[in-house]
Amino acid sequence: MSATRQVPPPLPQDAPPAPEAGPALPAGGRLDDGPVRVLSFGCRLNTYESAVMRDLALRAGHRETILVNTCAVTAEAEHQARQAIRRARRESPAARIIVTGCAAQIAPERWAALPGVARVLGNADKLRPEAWDAAAWAPGTAAPPIRDIMAERGVAPAQPVTEFAGRARAFVQVQQGCDHRCTFCVIPYGRGPSRSVPAGAVVQQVRALAAAGYREVVLTGVDITSYGGDLPGRPRLGQLARRLLALVPELPRLRLSSLDPEEIDEDLWRLLAEEPRLMPHLHLSVQHGADLILKRMKRRHSRAGALACARRARALRPEVALGADLIAGFPTETEAQFQDTLDLVEEAGLHFLHVFPYSERPGTPAARMPQLPPPLRRARAARLREAGAAAALRFYESRLGLEETVLLERPDRGHSEHFCPVRLEGVTGERGRLLRLRVTGASPAGLVAAPLAPPLAPTPMAAEG
């Protein structure tokens, strides 16, 4: 089949991974049905934690339970979680509703007051097996107080997870919390200080997931480029990834969630250049393209630093796909400063954008700055998304005629190594299978790919007379 441009039916709008503030599931989307149902909002770390909590609750014998794992990144994320709780109470009035996550950690009393909520569980306790023991939930037993997350040290123990219901890729927590204080962000107050998972525990978890049949693992956390600062010897993320790939050779694909462009270490850069099993896709926490706004955000990189990061990634791995988190309408942002962000999309060669209209979070320094009208924030976010859609389409079209290895998430849908959404034609397969295909079409929805043409049979030679 020739590599001509086609327009496939729309694909699910599965955002490039893991900006740590991006939606892991649709609003109110079920992670699983059954005796313990999970409604997970927010980042990929929430997806991992939701799987852990579901497993712990099932092992402890919980039944007819709905667990709502909240996000505090934006007011909209909190609104979606509240809507999900109301819907859960209406549709399952006999179910016990448990609320946890960052929003619940920051303002537990507000969530406990919602009709139907049986208990709020703090982030410091939610992954501890004892928090789910039946005795802790006996009738008349008082809920434990929400502990001070800022006093936490060390990563809370969690049982290994070998099933992410309905998902083809698995998530592994390598880090928790954040020591930075970006002026717009409330997450450190929901997650606490940065704590790293020892490399041995990460390797054990990934090995178990590979044995369970997962072909791709995503390393996730709140600020994964800060990995190792609290561990003996202060190993960096690159060392962890290199060790992981060396000790789990059966894992075909390793992907990273959002990276701080200022903190990518030399080992990780070398791994990007040398290791084909590290996926050619980096998602960068850029946030803005104007230096003054970056300073007001209290970010650690400059515009020039973001551009240098993109150039270095492309020099080491020319085919790399680059994504970025971007905020539109930050307080005091002028039209010229917003244009700097728009221009950065093309100058840095960004392909996938995760765009947020600025959302003021109570108690943050940015919430005290002069605010832009919400309609203007939304309008600028829409313009950024348009630029992102055009950039993504250009990248999709650049893949026409090339071979791609696709991880199937449905019989006829999946994602490539660059995290391009792919629709299959002429072939289907089981979820979790890797298929080598050729790209035959591209549209704003992603790629179309077909089986590789079989080699031509040799032409029989005439017998010599």
pLDDT, one tens digit per residue, over 177-222 is 999 999 999 999 999 999 999 999 999 999 999 999 999 999 999 9
Polymer length of the chain: 465
- Asked whether residue 86 carries a pLDDT value surpassing 90, the answer given is yes
Helix, strand, coil shares, percent, the chain, to 5: 35, 20, 45
Angle 295-296-301 (CA atoms, 0-180°, nearest 5)? 30
pLDDT, averaged across the chain: 89
Token pair belonging to 294 = 């970056």
**Distance separating alpha carbons of residues 463 and 465, to the nearest angstrom:** 6
Lowest mean pLDDT among 87-96, 121-130, 148-157: 148-157
Per-residue confidence (pLDDT) for residue 34, from 0 to 100: 81
- Going by pLDDT thresholds of 50, 70 and 90, the confidence category of residue 29 is very low
- Asked whether residue 175 carries a pLDDT value surpassing 50, the answer given is yes
Lowest mean pLDDT among 28-32, 156-160, 161-165, 383-387: 28-32
- Asked whether residue 141 carries a pLDDT value surpassing 90, the answer given is no
> Mean per-residue pLDDT for 49-66?
92
**Distance separating alpha carbons of residues 373 and 39, to the nearest angstrom:** 31
- Asked whether residue 14 carries a pLDDT value surpassing 80, the answer given is no
What is the radius of gyration, based on Cα positions, of the chain? 23
**Checking DSSP bridges between strand 434-443 and strand 446-451, what pairing results, if any?**
antiparallel
Per-residue confidence (pLDDT) for residue 23, from 0 to 100: 29
Per-residue confidence (pLDDT) for residue 459, from 0 to 100: 47
Top pLDDT among 14 and 296 is at 296
- Asked whether residue 20 carries a pLDDT value surpassing 70, the answer given is no
Domain coordinates in residue numbering, the chain = 399-451
Per-residue confidence (pLDDT) for residue 454, from 0 to 100: 62
- Going by pLDDT thresholds of 50, 70 and 90, the confidence category of residue 32 is low
- Going by pLDDT thresholds of 50, 70 and 90, the confidence category of residue 462 is very low
Is it true that domain 399-451 has CATH number 2.40.50.140? yes
- Model pLDDT for residues 328-366, shown as the tens digit of each residue: 999 999 999 999 999 999 999 999 999 999 999 999 999
Angle between helices 199-211 and 237-247 (to 10 degrees): 40
Cα dihedral 204, 206, 212, 218 in deg (nearest 10): 160
Q: What is this structure's pTM?
A: 0.85
Per-residue confidence (pLDDT) for residue 25, from 0 to 100: 36
> Mean per-residue pLDDT for 11-37?
44
